[in-house]
Structure 1
């Protein structure tokens, strides 16, 4: 019997999706599962985006340009300019989701066994993209006790070696909700310039910042023109996860030219989804005002409820719509599976994402979970109530 690849065998499972079979089994037995595990917003997609697809008059659903339609990229430059990010259409490659953008970045800046430093915990699929590209993730630990702030610069310096190609951050962060300050971005800028590295920023949650804080992009920082690369997406911004449209943005022409070769190999991003994404740029700013207010309310309720559970420690997110909670248990994977298989309150249970999969360092995050507060307040409160009762029963 032929063997599958070693790369495939070592490819990590998604901590977000690996428990799906247990959730489906619970539902088939009649239980209601409240999903805290995945960042699928319940906010309505802007009507203008849906109408653009519904009312289009295409006769042929043709390939688009490899780098995405010129009309869409031109409109994206206006969107970025509104966020004090000044780029041209030629600096943008439209991709099939932010995931493809990140894969193109890794393939363009790193060779096999090269290294990328990432503050952990980080978006779990970074591990998968790195594995697929033969890149080694070198984690630098951030801590729940500091609300997952940027680790000391000395911690980065210790990890930089001859194979280091980049530092990758998610800002605001998934899974922590941490928002890097302008000063922290400037510290990272100093490091990458000193060591001639790339600074890659996953900025898909740019709009979701709270408590009066503002997002500062790596492409706003002067002197980073050859170092900074943005990964972006419409998925969370416009509640359009199914569109699978993202982009890679950089002023480094060599990176753009190299990424274009990867883009050509997959032909083009989806046409209908670009039509929807282009129309979504017409969404009024009032949409985001309402959405942010809703997420702030959900965050505040979630944190308040979690802090009332004995033994639970929780970081307060400043952006995105996730938080990490540390539980008084040893194995969150076992706890998450047990919730789905064996625990019910009024025939309801919750599905969470064990946080160990968001770390690269073995053993870290074993007693933590990631919660996505993308549900209405009533559901969130009920879910935390179930968690509270579950912990009592699980701990015994």
Structure 2
């Protein structure tokens, strides 16, 4: 029998999706499942985007330019201008989701066995992107006790080697909901300039910030033009996860020139989805105001309900729509599977994402879960009540 590649064998399973077979079995058994495991918002996609798709008059769905249509990239640049980010359309490559933007960035700046430093816990697919690119993640651990704030810069600096090529952050963070302060961004900026590294920021949750705290983009920092690489996406901003449109943004001309070669190799991003995404840029501010209000209420509801459970520790999010929760169990992988296979409360159960998959350090996060508060408030209250009752009877 032909052998599967070592890279393929080393590709990590998604901690979010690997429990799907158990959830499907639970559904077939008649259980209702509250999905706290995946960041699929129930928020409606803006009507302007849906109308653009409905009213397409194309007779042929052609390839777009490899870097995305100039018209769309120009409108993206105008959107960034409103957010104090000064770029032009030539600084932007449209990608098939933010995932492809990260893969293009990794391929453009790192060779096999190079290293990238990432504060953990981090978006689980960063592990997969690194494995696919043949590069090594070097983690620096942030702690739930200080709400997953940026670890001391000294912790980053001592990990830098000749193979280190970049530092990657997610801001606001998935899975923690942490929002980096301007001072933290400036510290990272000084560090990458000192050691001649790239700073990659995954900023797909930019609109989702709470408690009056402002989002600070790495693209706003003067003097970082050659070092900063921003990853973005329409998925969460406009509740368009299935559109699979993102972008890679940098003022580093050599970086963009290199990434375009990767874009050419996959031909072009989806034409129809670009049309929808371009139209979404005309979404009125009232849409975002309403969505943010809704998420603040959901966050507050979730945190309030979780605090009623003995032995639970919570990282309170300041952005995005996730939080990390520490449970009084030894292994949340086993607990999450048990919830689907062996537990229900009046025919209902919950699906959560075990947090160990959001770490690359072995043994970290074993007693934590990530909760995506993408359900309505009534459902969140029910889901946390089920979780509370489940913890009363669960045996490690």
- Tell me whether the two structures share a fold, i.e. TM-score over 0.5: yes
C-alpha distance in structure 1 between counterparts of 2:298 and 2:188, whole Å: 31
Which residue of 1 is the match for residue 10 of structure 2?
10
Q: Give 1:248 shift.
A: 0.0
C-alpha distance in structure 1 between counterparts of 2:9 and 2:307, whole Å: 39
Which residue of 2 is the match for residue 311 of structure 1?
311
Which residue of 1 is the match for residue 337 of structure 2?
337
Deviations 1:191-241 (A, max 9, x none): 000000000000000000000001000000000000000000000000000
Secondary structure in 2 matching 1:130: helix
C-alpha distance in structure 2 between counterparts of 1:290 and 1:213, whole Å: 17
Alignment of 1:304-383 (within 5 A): 304-383=304-383
C-alpha distance in structure 2 between counterparts of 1:19 and 1:56, whole Å: 38
| Structure 2 gap segments, 5+ residues each | none
C-alpha distance in structure 1 between counterparts of 2:276 and 2:60, whole Å: 17
Which residue of 1 is the match for residue 158 of structure 2?
158
Which residue of 1 is the match for residue 64 of structure 2?
64
Which residue of 2 is the match for residue 141 of structure 1?
141
Deviations 1:312-333 (A, max 9, x none): 0001000000000000000000
Secondary structure in 2 matching 1:106: helix
Q: Give 1:307 shift.
A: 1.0
Q: Give 1:395 shift.
A: 3.7
C-alpha distance in structure 1 between counterparts of 2:372 and 2:353, whole Å: 9
Which residue of 1 is the match for residue 214 of structure 2?
214
Which residue of 2 is the match for residue 279 of structure 1?
279
C-alpha distance in structure 2 between counterparts of 1:206 and 1:140, whole Å: 23
Which residue of 2 is the match for residue 117 of structure 1?
117
Which residue of 1 is the match for residue 34 of structure 2?
34
Q: Give 1:70 shift.
A: 0.5
Which residue of 2 is the match for residue 101 of structure 1?
101
Q: Give 1:308 shift.
A: 1.1
Deviations 1:252-274 (A, max 9, x none): 01110110011000000000000
Secondary structure in 1 matching 2:140: strand
Deviations 1:269-293 (A, max 9, x none): 0000000000000000010000000
Q: If the length of structure 1 is used for normalisation, what is the TM-score?
A: 1.00
C-alpha distance in structure 2 between counterparts of 1:276 and 1:110, whole Å: 33
Q: If the length of structure 2 is used for normalisation, what is the TM-score?
A: 1.00
* Superposed CA RMSD: 0.6
C-alpha distance in structure 2 between counterparts of 1:29 and 1:212, whole Å: 45
C-alpha distance in structure 2 between counterparts of 1:314 and 1:218, whole Å: 28
C-alpha distance in structure 1 between counterparts of 2:223 and 2:285, whole Å: 30
Which residue of 2 is the match for residue 293 of structure 1?
293
